[in-house]
Structure 1
């Protein structure tokens, strides 16, 4: 099973999650006011996910690790789940790089 983007709607807002081939979420988007903007966010993940420089590795206040994928303009596209180790975070980045460009779309709107 390949990775997939799951597009959802909550009220008048849209959101997507990139899931790995095992079904686990690896990247979550911000909320968008329109479906077209959410689809544009997916396109941005497809384009930017293969590029190492687009990933910002971070440590949360509780000591857990996560990353943010950014567009070429520096704006965040998506944020990862948190991980208990930096190695887990790095594996999450590798998973986004592997699945992001070619993941299918499941539209639940």
Structure 2
């Protein structure tokens, strides 16, 4: 898996999380600063491995 950071036509940044088969798994919100997008990626890399699942689909 990899994170792909792109700059939009409006000058803001967003990232996608792409699986090894090329499929986009997740897309971020937009960020005014590239550093903010990279900071969020870093946070996900550090903390997502321990994330739990909150299945509210039956609610």
TM-score range, shorter chain: 0.7 to 0.9
1:100 CA displacement: 2.0
Normalising to structure 2: TM-score of the pair? 0.85
1:86 and 2:34 are equivalent in the alignment: yes
Structure 2 unmatched runs, 5+: none
Normalising to structure 1: TM-score of the pair? 0.49
Structure richer in strand, relative to its length: 1
Structure 1 unmatched runs, 5+: 1-47, 49-53
Q: For 1:35-67, what per-residue CA distance to the aligned partner results, in whole angstroms no more than 9, with x for missing partners?
A: xxxxxxxxxxxxx4xxxxx11111122111110
1:97 and 2:34 are equivalent in the alignment: no
Structure of higher RCO (CA pairs closer than 8 Å, 6+ residues apart): 1
CA distance in structure 2 between the aligned counterparts of 1:57 and 1:102, rounded to whole angstroms: 24
- Residues 9-88 of structure 1 aligned to structure 2 (within 5 Å): 48=1, 54-88=2-36
Aligned-pair Cα RMSD in Å: 1.1
